[in-house]
C-alpha cells in the first residue's frame, strides 16, 4: 500500500494514492466519493482499519473495511485531523454543540482535545462535563504525542478556578487534588504562562498546601523575567492572595509588574493595585508605576474594581485627589449592586480617607445597611467602626442593621474586630452589655492587643520628646493605656509624681496620617480615619486634658524650639511649666497649622 490520509490542509479525509484494497489491480477507492456519516455516527477511525494516529493497521483489515463501506456509502464518517477536531471543539458556541462534537469524534480524542473540552466547559459553566474530561485527560498516555503536557495540565487548573471548584467540597476535592498533583508533577516543564496560570488558579481556589504552592511559586519566580503583562499581574495577585510576602518571592514578580505597568489591562491594573496594598508594600517609589497605571485607567473601572482600588488607596494611605476622586465617582455610581464585601470596603475606605462628602458617604452607608445581614465578622466590625469614624454614632436607631450584624457574627470576632467595635462604642454608639463584655474579654486576652499602639513609642522621636518633657520639670509616664486599654497614648505628664493635673500627650507618628504619592503641600499630611476617631475619643473623654504632638515638629525643631513649643501646648491646657511666649515668631507661629488641635 502506498499513499496517505490527507491532512486538514489537504481537504480532510480523502485518501491519496494508488492502492488496490481488494488485492486486485484496480485503481482503488478515494474517500472523497463517499458520503459523510450522520451527526450521531457510529463508525470511527477504527472502522476503517486505522489506529489512533491515522495509519493502516493491515492491508487485510483495510480491505474488509472498505469493502464494507462500498456496500453502503451513505453512512461513513469523514476523517478529521487532530487539529481539525481541536478547532471544532474550541469553536463550539454552546454546551450542546460541544457535546455533539464529542459524540462524533469520541474515539479520536486525545489529551489535547480533553484539555480543550475542559476550557470550553469553564466558559459554559459545565462542571459535570469538565470533571469527566479531566479524568479522561489523566487516563491518556504521558507526553506531547498525546497532548498530556504541562501547558494542557495548567489549562485544566485554570478552568477549574474559572468554574469555582472548591477543594474543601466533597464533590470537588478529588478532582482538584488530581489536577494539582498533575501540575506539580510537570512543574519543571512550565513556561512563563504555565507558571502564572497555575499559581493564579490555586490562589483563586484557596489552595494553600505547601506541597502544592511552593513548587508553583518557585516556577513563577524562575520565569518572572519572561512574564508578559497578564502573567505578571496574575502572579502578583496570586502571591498577595496567598499571603506570600517573602522578599525573595515578591521582588522578582513586582519588578515584572512594574515593567509592564503601562500595558496592564483595566482588570489587571485594579488587581495589581489591590495586591500592593494586600502585601503591605511601603516603598512608594517601588510601586508608583502600578498606582499611576491604575489612576490613568480609573475612569474606565467598573464599580467593583473601583471599590477594590479605593480600598487599596486607603490601605496604602494616599491622600492625592487625583487618585481618590475618579475611584470614588465610579464606586458610588451603582451602589445598589454592591456585594457585602464591596459595601463594607467602600464605607471603611471613605472613613479612612476622611471623605466627608455627605452625598457619597450616604450612598456607601446605605449599601452597608442593606448588605448587613450578609456581613462576615470582619465586615460587620469594620462597618461599625467606619460609621463611628464618620460621625454617625449619634444615630443608633438608623444604624441598627450594623449592630445586628455585630451581634450575629460576634462569636467569629478576632481581637482586631473586637477593638473596632469597642472603639465605636466608646465614641457614643450604644451596644448591648453582652456584646461589649464579649469584645472586652476577647480583646484583653490577646497579648498583642495594644502592641500596634505602642510601636511608635520606642523610636528616636519618642525618646527625644520624653527628654524634652522631663527637661521642663515634669513627671513622665510612657505608653499609658486609656479607656481601659482601648487607646494607648505615648505619655502622660504631671507636675508632681502622685498629684496634680494629669495630661495625656499623644504623639502622632507617620502611620497616623495620609500621604501624597506626588506631594503638593510641603510638610502637610491630613490625618487618616483612625486618627480622627482617636482625636474624637480624647476630645469626648479628656477635654482640656490632652495635647497632640506631631512627629514632624519633634524632628524639625532644635532643643530650644521644641521646649518652647511644648510649654505653649501645656500652658494651653492648664499645666504651667514655663512662661508662654506668643510673640508670633519661632515655634508658636506654627500653631495655626492643621496638625495642631
| 357 phi/psi in degrees, rounded to 5 | -60, 115
What's the maximum distance between 2 C-alpha atoms anywhere in the chain? Answer: 125
Q: Using alpha carbons only, what angle is made at residue 406 by residues 401 and 407, rounded to the nearest 5 degrees?
A: 95
Cell 474594581 belongs to which residue?
305
Distance CA 153, CA 137 (A): 9
Residues linked to residue 488 through DSSP beta bridges, in sequence order: 481
pLDDT in tens, the chain (597 residues): 333 333 333 333 333 333 333 333 333 333 333 333 333 333 333 333 333 333 333 333 443 333 333 434 444 556 789 999 999 999 999 999 999 999 999 999 999 999 999 999 999 999 999 999 999 999 999 888 888 999 999 999 999 999 999 999 999 999 999 999 999 999 999 999 999 999 999 999 999 999 999 999 999 999 999 999 999 999 999 999 999 999 999 999 999 999 999 999 988 999 999 999 999 887 777 888 998 888 888 888 888 889 999 999 999 998 888 888 889 999 998 899 999 999 999 999 999 999 988 999 999 999 999 999 999 999 999 999 999 999 887 777 788 999 999 999 999 999 999 999 999 998 888 889 999 999 988 988 874 444 444 444 457 888 999 999 999 989 998 888 877 777 888 888 888 776 667 899 999 988 888 988 876 655 578 899 999 999 988 888 888 789 999 888 888 889 889 999 999 998 888 888 764 444 333 333 333 222 222
| 495 phi/psi in degrees, rounded to 5 | -80, -25
Q: How far is residue 127 CA from its own chain's centroid?
A: 25
Q: Are 186 and 149 in contact (CB under 8 A)?
A: yes
Q: How many CB atoms lie within 10 A of CB 30?
A: 12
Boundaries of every domain in the chain: 4-79, 367-449, 451-590
| Closest CA relative to residue 348, chosen from 331, 330, 373 | 331
Residue 488 three-state SS = strand
Angle between helices 377-389 and 400-409 (to 10 degrees): 150
| Closest CA relative to residue 114, chosen from 146, 66, 75, 79 | 146
Distance CA 228, CA 238 (A): 15
| Closest CA relative to residue 508, chosen from 492, 530, 537, 482 | 530
User: What is the model's pLDDT at position 76?
Assistant: 52
DSSP secondary structure, 326-340, as one string: HHHHHHTTTGGG--H
Amino acid at each position: 500500500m502506498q499513499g496517505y490520509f490527507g491532512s486538514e490542509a489537504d481537504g480532510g479525509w480523502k485518501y491519496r494514492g494508488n492502492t488496490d484494497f481488494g488485492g486486485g489491480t484496480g485503481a482503488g477507492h478515494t474517500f472523497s466519493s463517499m458520503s459523510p456519516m450522520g451527526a450521531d455516527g457510529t463508525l470511527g477511525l477504527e472502522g476503517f482499519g486505522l489506529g489512533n494516529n491515522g495509519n493502516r493497521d493491515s492491508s487485510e483489515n483495510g480491505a474488509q473495511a472498505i469493502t464494507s463501506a462500498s456496500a453502503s456509502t451513505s453512512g461513513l464518517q469523514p476523517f478529521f485531523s487532530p487539529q481539525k477536531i481541536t478547532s471544532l471543539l474550541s469553536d463550539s458556541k454552546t454546551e450542546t454543540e460541544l457535546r455533539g462534537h464529542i459524540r462524533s469524534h469520541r474515539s479520536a480524542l486525545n489529551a489535547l482535545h480533553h484539555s480543550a473540552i475542559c476550557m470550553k466547559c469553564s466558559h459554559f459553566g459545565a462542571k459535570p462535563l469538565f470533571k469527566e474530561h479531566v479524568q479522561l485527560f489523566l487516563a491518556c498516555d504521558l507526553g506531547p504525542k498525546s497532548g498530556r503536557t504541562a501547558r494542557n495540565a495548567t489549562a485544566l487548573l485554570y478552568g477549574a478556578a474559572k468554574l469555582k471548584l472548591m477543594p474543601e467540597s466533597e464533590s470537588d476535592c478529588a478532582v482538584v487534588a488530581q489536577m494539582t498533583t498533575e501540575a506539580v508533577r510537570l512543574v519543571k516543564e512550565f513556561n512563563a504562562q504555565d507558571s502564572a496560570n497555575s499559581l493564579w488558579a490555586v490562589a483563586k481556589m484557596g489552595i494553600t498546601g505547601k506541597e502544592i504552592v511552593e513548587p508553583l511559586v518557585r516556577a513563577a519566580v524562575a520565569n518572572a523575567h519572561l512574564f508578559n503583562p497578564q502573567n505578571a499581574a496574575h502572579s502578583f495577585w496570586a502571591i498577595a492572595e496567598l499571603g506570600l510576602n517573602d522578599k525573595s518571592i515578591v521582588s522578582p514578580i513586582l519588578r515584572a509588574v512594574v515593567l509592564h505597568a503601562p500595558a496592564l489591562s483595566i482588570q489587571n491594573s485594579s488587581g495589581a493595585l489591590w495586591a500592593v496594598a494586600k502585601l503591605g508594600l511601603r516603598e512608594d517609589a517601588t510601586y508608583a508605576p502600578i498606582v499611576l497605571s491604575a489612576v490613568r485607567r480609573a475612569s474606565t473601572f467598573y464599580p467593583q474594581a473601583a471599590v477594590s482600588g479605593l480600598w487599596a488607596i486607603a490601605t496604602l494611605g494616599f491622600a492625592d485627589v487625583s487618585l481618590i476622586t475618579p475611584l470614588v465617582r465610579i464606586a458610588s455610581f451603582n451602589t445598589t449592586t454592591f456585594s457585602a464585601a464591596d459595601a463594607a470596603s467602600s464605607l471603611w475606605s471613605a472613613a479612612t480617607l476622611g471623605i466627608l462628602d455627605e452625598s457619597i458617604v450616604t450612598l456607601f452607608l446605605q449599601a452597608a445597611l442593606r448588605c448587613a445581614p450578609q456581613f462576615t465578622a470582619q465586615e460587620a466590625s469594620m462597618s461599625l467602626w467606619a460609621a463611628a469614624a464618620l460621625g454617625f454614632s449619634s444615630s443608633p436607631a438608623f444604624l441598627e442593621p450594623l449592630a445586628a450584624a455585630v451581634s450575629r457574627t460576634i462569636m467569629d470576632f478576632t481581637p482586631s474586630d473586637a477593638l473596632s467595635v469597642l472603639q465605636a462604642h466608646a465614641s457614643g454608639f450604644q451596644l448591648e452589655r453582652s456584646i461589649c463584655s464579649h469584645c472586652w474579654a476577647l480583646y484583653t486576652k490577646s497579648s498583642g492587643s495594644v502592641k500596634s499602639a505602642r510601636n511608635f513609642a520606642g523610636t528616636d522621636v519618642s525618646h527625644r520628646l520624653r527628654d524634652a518633657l522631663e527637661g521642663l520639670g515634669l513627671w513622665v509616664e510612657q505608653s499609658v493605656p486609656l479607656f481601659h486599654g482601648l487607646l494607648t497614648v505615648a505619655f502622660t505628664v504631671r507636675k508632681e509624681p502622685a498629684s496634680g493635673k494629669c495630661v495625656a500627650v499623644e504623639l502622632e507618628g507617620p502611620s497616623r496620617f495620609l500621604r501624597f504619592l506626588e506631594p503638593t503641600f510641603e510638610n502637610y499630611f491630613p490625618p487618616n480615619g483612625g486618627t480622627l476617631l482617636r482625636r474624637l475619643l480624647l476630645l469626648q473623654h479628656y477635654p482640656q486634658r490632652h495635647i497632640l504632638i506631631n512627629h514632624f515638629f519633634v524632628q524639625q525643631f532644635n532643643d530650644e524650639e521644641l521646649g518652647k513649643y511644648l510649654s505653649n501646648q501645656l500652658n494651653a491646657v492648664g499645666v504651667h511649666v514655663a512662661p508662654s511666649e506668643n510673640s508670633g515668631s519661632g515655634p508658636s507661629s506654627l500653631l495655626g497649622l492643621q496638625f495642631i488641635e
